[in-house]
Amino acid sequence: MSSSESSSHRRVSLLTLGCARNEVDSEELAGRLVEGGWELSDDPSDSDVVVVNTCGFVEQAKKDSVDTLLAAADTGAKVVAVGCMAERYGRELAENLPEADAVLGFDHYPNLAERLADVAQGRTVESHTPTDRRTLLPITPVERQAAATDVTVPGHAGWGPRVLRSRLDDSPVAPLKIASGCDRRCSFCAIPSFRGSFVSRHPDELVAEAEWLAAHGARELFLVSENSTSYGKDLGRDFGGTRALEQLLPRLAAVDGIDRVRVSYLQPAETRPDLVKVIATTPGVADYFDLSFQHSSEAVLRRMRRFGSTESFLALIEQIRSYAPEAGIRTNVIVGFPGETEEDVAELERFLTEARLDAVGVFGYSDEDGTEAETFDGKLDSSEIAERVGRVSELVEELTSQRAEDRVGSVVDVLVESVDEEIVGRAAHQAPEVDGECVVLGDAECKVGEFVRCEVVDSAGVDLIVRPINPAPGDPDPET
């Protein structure tokens, strides 16, 4: 029986947890399921199967994934776990969570429509057996492109006359996955073991998908990966090699219908001067830098298996602002890492104070299964970690509020995303969900997906209060 016959009149809901990379994976899965004869539903209680795309990054994400799986089971539908947590734990998750009717890994994705048909009809589907996905591709990056055709890499479904993807919302912002996996060996991170080695997507494939997204309502592209600064290192010199991202960005910005392209997940040690210049000065590319600093104490960074220091990070920020003084810069930091001293925390606080960042995520260290840091000595008590998280978070709140207040009087182009009780959108320095928003004052008749040129008149924390203005003669149209 074909997948379309076995899934005829079947309805499926997809619930996505975690990052924007997972959102892309869910839309690829949606495309595969529609192709396989399934009907997408927004209502889990009215579905035959609920697919939960789990997150397995940190302990809280795992808990949220389990809670979502349990809630899905309460609807009476069959429940299937996919995504990072399912890939990472597989059989172990299935044994400990009988509410899930199947736990499927990335290798199940190409035939997901058939596997869901099996689940819907009560047939047993063998649970995923985890493996270190770094072992599936050659160690040498330039040898991976040919080998990757035999390995399932979520978000790399191929391209041609059509894009294998179905949008799951009508947002004017769409994530576009430019690569998957990571070759770095940060001592606290397990992602490479279950996401695999770094693999870039072909630039022509990305342009084709960008055109498809523009035709399906996207005005801003949010480029995602585990490490965007590595894009192209496995593509070879014909496609720019390690300079491939600098060549890709103008092509994406030139796609008809796309007005803003935003890059995420930049590694500071790999953020080259040429890349800084392209992001900061290319029309249509947001002057926005999502830099994964993680800490600034050299001693802590060495234990994290990372590179940098307060001074080198400040020099990078100075370089960015020499091109674009109002550029948005955000980061995440981990406090309470094994062996972290009060002097290390003070160094991090010095960096944050001098850097004047727009947004900072503060996370307390916790052991992750299978990571090098899990074996380190010098672990801090949970109470000490919580105290440091609170202290640094309080400083960050004050500093980012000041940074937002400094923007009062400036002019920003706001992409409108909601016009319900109030008009809400985002400026170039604000990424979706994590960096605050702009609240548009006045009675302007704005539509979702429009760009509105505004003056910043006030701030509230990291959020800006803005008022529409008429472009002055000679000013560029914010939609061009």
- Three-state SS at 288: strand
| Residue 245: burial class (beta carbons within 10 Å; 0-12, 13-18, 19+) | buried
Strand order across the beta sheet in which 260-263 lies: 173-177, 220-224, 260-263
Who contacts 46 (Cβ-Cβ below 8 Å, separation ≥6)? Answer: 11
Residues annotated in the binding site for [4Fe-4S] cluster, as ranges? 19, 55, 84, 182, 186, 189
DSSP string, 160-224: SSS-S---SS--SEEEEE-EE------TT--HHHHH-S-EEPPHHHHHHHHHHHHHTT-SEEEEE
Percent residues over pLDDT 90 in the chain: 81
Amino acid 159: pLDDT? 53
Please compute the mean of the pLDDT values over residues 357-373 and round it to a whole number.
Answer: 95
Please compute the mean of the pLDDT values over residues 376-384 and round it to a whole number.
Answer: 97
Strand order across the beta sheet in which 288-290 lies: 288-290, 328-335, 359-364
Integer Cα distance of 254 and 131 in angstroms: 40
- Tell whether the model's pLDDT for residue 385 goes beyond 70: yes
Cα within 13 Å of Cα(148), Cβ side: 26
Integer Cα distance of 295 and 185 in angstroms: 16
Residues annotated in the binding site, as ranges? 19, 55, 84, 182, 186, 189
Please compute the mean of the pLDDT values over residues 425-437 and round it to a whole number.
Answer: 93
Q: State which amino acid sits at residue 386.
A: A
Cα within 13 Å of Cα(124), Cβ side: 4
Rounded to two decimals, what is the model's pTM?
0.91
Q: Per the structure block, which two tokens stand in for 375?
A: 């074996």
CB burial string 406-415: b at 16+ within 10 A, e below: ebeeebbbbb
- Tell whether the model's pLDDT for residue 154 goes beyond 90: no
Q: How confident is the model at residue 241 (pLDDT cuts 50, 70, 90)?
A: confident
Q: Do residues 22 and 135 lie in contact, with contact meaning Cβ atoms separated by under 8 Å?
A: no
Q: Do residues 289 and 266 lie in contact, with contact meaning Cβ atoms separated by under 8 Å?
A: yes
- Tell whether the model's pLDDT for residue 323 goes beyond 50: yes
Amino acid 420: pLDDT? 86
* Residues 294-319: tens digit of each pLDDT: 999 999 999 999 999 999 999 999 99
Cα within 13 Å of Cα(262), Cβ side: 28
Amino acid 149: pLDDT? 80
**C-alpha radius of gyration, the chain, whole number:** 23
Q: State which amino acid sits at residue 336.
A: G
- Three-state SS at 335: strand
Q: How confident is the model at residue 407 (pLDDT cuts 50, 70, 90)?
A: very high
Please compute the mean of the pLDDT values over residues 165-193 and round it to a whole number.
Answer: 94
Q: Per the structure block, which two tokens stand in for 423?
A: 């008009």
* Residues 88-141: tens digit of each pLDDT: 999 999 999 999 999 999 999 999 999 999 999 999 999 999 999 999 989 998
| Domains in the chain: ranges and CATH | 10-130 (3.40.50.12160), 136-406 (3.80.30.20), 410-468 (2.40.50.140)
Q: How confident is the model at residue 1 (pLDDT cuts 50, 70, 90)?
A: very low
